[in-house]
Amino acid sequence: MEECDVLVIGGGPALRECIRTCRLMSPEVRLGAIRLDKVMINHCAMPYALAKRTTLEEVIAPDTLVTRWDAKLFVDEARQIDPREKVVKCGNGSLKYKRLILAMGSDPIRPPIPGMNLDNILTLRHLDDIKKLEGLLDLPQTRNVVIVGGGYIGVEFAYVIKERANHNVTIIELLEHLLEASLDDEFCTVAEEELRRNGINLHTGSRVTEFKGKEKVERVLFDGKEIPADVVVLAIGVQPTVNLALNADIKGDRQGIEVNQYFRTSVEDIYAIGDVIKMVSPVTSDYFPGRLGSNAALEARILATNLFNGERAFPGVVNPAGTKVFDTSFGMVGLTERYARQRGIRYLTGRAKTTNIYKMLKGARPTEGKLIFREDDLTVIGAQFYGDVNIVGPVDLMGQAILRKFTLYDVLGLIHTTQPELSPEPALNVLPKCAEDLWQRIK
C-alpha cells in the first residue's frame, strides 16, 4: 500500500497551494494528492472563457501544478477515511497517510424545484459544464437564457453571456437585491442599474417555483409569472463537500468541518482547509461564510508552513472580493451594514465620492466608497467601493485594516500613491476621504 507523509484530498487552489508550500518547506517529505476530477479548471476564469476573452484550454489548471513539486497525483474517488489505521480507501485502492488534509471544496446547490431534471438546466463547476453551455449558446434556436441566483456567479455569467451573443438574459433572485450577501442596498442598486442599462432583465424578491418543458426546459415559473427559457443556469451558491468527513466522525455539519485556528479537526492528524471548513469572522468570532479561492490559498500556505515550522494561528476570514458588471467594478470586504445590524453591532459609516484618476484627465470616472466602523472603539469592520477596475487596491488594504484593527484615525493617517494617470489628486484618495467624512461629524 502506498504511503504518504502528507496526503491531500481535493482539487482546487487549496490542494495546489498546500502541495507547493509543503515542498518548499521540506525537500524530503512524501506528498500525495487524491483528486476526483480528471481535469480541474480555474473557476473564477470560467466566465471569461465563455466570453471568448480566453480559451477553455487556458482555464484548465494543469496537473503539473501538483506533480512539478514531486507529489504523486491519484485521480480517484476518496470513499472512506479510517482514522485509526490512517488509511483513505479509494475506488482503485487505498492510501496510507501520516497526516491528512481535507480540501474537497464545495458543490453547487441544486434546490428541489419541480422540473429540475429537465435538460439544459445547468450548474457551472466543471469543464464539461462550460462546454455544454457554450454549445447551447451557439445554437441558433437559443434566444432566452435564465439565470437563477444573483450573487457573484450569476451576475458575472449574465453579463458575459449578454456580451457573447446578445441573448435575452434574465436574472431571478430570491433576495430583494442582487449581490445582497456582499453589498449594502445603495451599492446593489448601482449594479442593478448597470445590468438593466445593458439590457439584462431583473426579477428580485422572486422565488422560482417550477421549470416546465417536455424533455428540455422551455419555461420558468416564479411569483405567478412565466417566462420562456432555452437555457437555465443555476447560480444559487455552493455548499461544502462534507460527507467524507462526517462519515469518518469528524466534527462538523452542513456548514462545514469544524477546525481550530490551526486547521486541526476533531480527529488527530487530520486537518481541513478551503471551502470545506466552517469559517469564522475575526470581527464577530461567529460563523462567517468565506468560500473564496484567495481564502483557500492563504489557509493552505499557513497550514503547510505550520506542519513543518511552528504554529501560526489563522485569524479568520474578512473576505476581500470584487466583481465586475460591464464597465463598473465593485469591491467589498468585512461586514456590511445589513450584517452588522442583524448581529446587533452598533456602527458608524464614512462615505466619499472621488475619481479613479485626476478628474481633469480623459478617462476619469466616478469612484465611491464607504467605510464601516464599530461605534464603541471606531475600528474598521467593513468597506465597500464601486467605480474603476483599480478598486481592488482599497479593498485589499481595508482587509488588512480589519485584521489589524485599524481605527478611524489610522485610516485618516494612511499614506498613498499619487500619479495623475493612476490615482486621484493627493487630497482625494477614497480611503482617507471616507474617514474624514465620519471624523467631521463626530469630532
With 0-12 / 13-18 / 19 or more C-beta atoms within 10 angstroms meaning exposed / middle / buried, residue 379 is middle
How big is the chain, counted in residues?
443
pLDDT score for 309 = 86
Last residue of a domain, one of 186, 207, 236: 236
Same domain, 115 and 99: no
Same domain, 99 and 248: yes
pLDDT score for 182 = 96
**What is the average pLDDT score of the chain?**
96
Same domain, 335 and 433: yes
Same domain, 18 and 85: yes
Contact between residue 330 and residue 368 where contact means Cβ atoms under 8 Å apart: no
pLDDT score for 406 = 98
Q: How far apart are CA 177 and CA 334, in angstroms?
A: 19
Residue at 405: amino acid letter:
K
pLDDT score for 52 = 87
3-class secondary structure per residue, the chain: CEEEEEEEEECCHHHHHHHHHHHHHCCCCCEEEEECCCCEECHHHHHHHHCCCCCCHHHEECCHHHHCCCEEEEECCEEEEECCCCEEEECCEEEEEEEEEEECCEEECCCCCCCCCCECEEECCCHHHHHHHHHHHCCCCCCEEEEECCCHHHHHHHHHHHHHHCCEEEEEECCCCCCCCCCCHHHHHHHHHHHHHCCCEEEECCCEEEEEECCEEEEEEECCEEEECCEEEECCCEEECCHHHHHCCCCEECCEECCCCCCECCCCCEEECHHHECCECCCCCCECCCCCHHHHHHHHHHHHHHHHCCCCCCCCCCCCEEEEECCEEEEEEECCHHHHHHCCCCEEEEEEEEECCCCCCCCCCEEEEEEEEECCCCEEEEEEEEECHHHHHHHHHHHHHHHCCCEHHHHHCCCCCCCCCCCCCHHHCHHHHHHHHHHHHHC
Last residue of a domain, one of 236, 267, 299: 236
Residue 317 lies in a domain: no
pLDDT score for 389 = 67
Last residue of a domain, one of 220, 236, 252: 236
Same domain, 99 and 246: yes
pLDDT score for 443 = 80
pLDDT score for 277 = 98
Same domain, 196 and 249: no
> pTM of the predicted model, to two decimals?
0.94
CATH number of the structural domain spanning residue 370:
3.30.390.30
Same domain, 222 and 281: no
Give the contacts of 138 (CB within 8 A, at least 6 positions apart). Answer: 165
Geometric angle at alpha carbon 395, from 390 and 400, rounded to 5°: 135
Q: How far apart are CA 261 and CA 252, in angstroms?
A: 15
From residue 218, how far is each of 61, 64, 135, 146 by CA, in Å? 34, 42, 17, 10
Same domain, 232 and 243: no
Number of domains forming the structure of the chain: 3
Residue 101 lies in a domain: yes
pLDDT score for 268 = 97
Residue 255 lies in a domain: yes
Pick from 172, 168, 143, 167: nearest CA to 155 = 172
Pick from 276, 406, 426, 422: nearest CA to 333 = 406
User: CB neighbours (10 Å) of residue 421?
Assistant: 10
Same domain, 244 and 351: no
CATH number of the structural domain spanning residue 126:
3.50.50.60
Residues of the chain with pLDDT under 50: none
Residue 323 lies in a domain: no
The domain containing residue 366 runs over which residues? 328-442
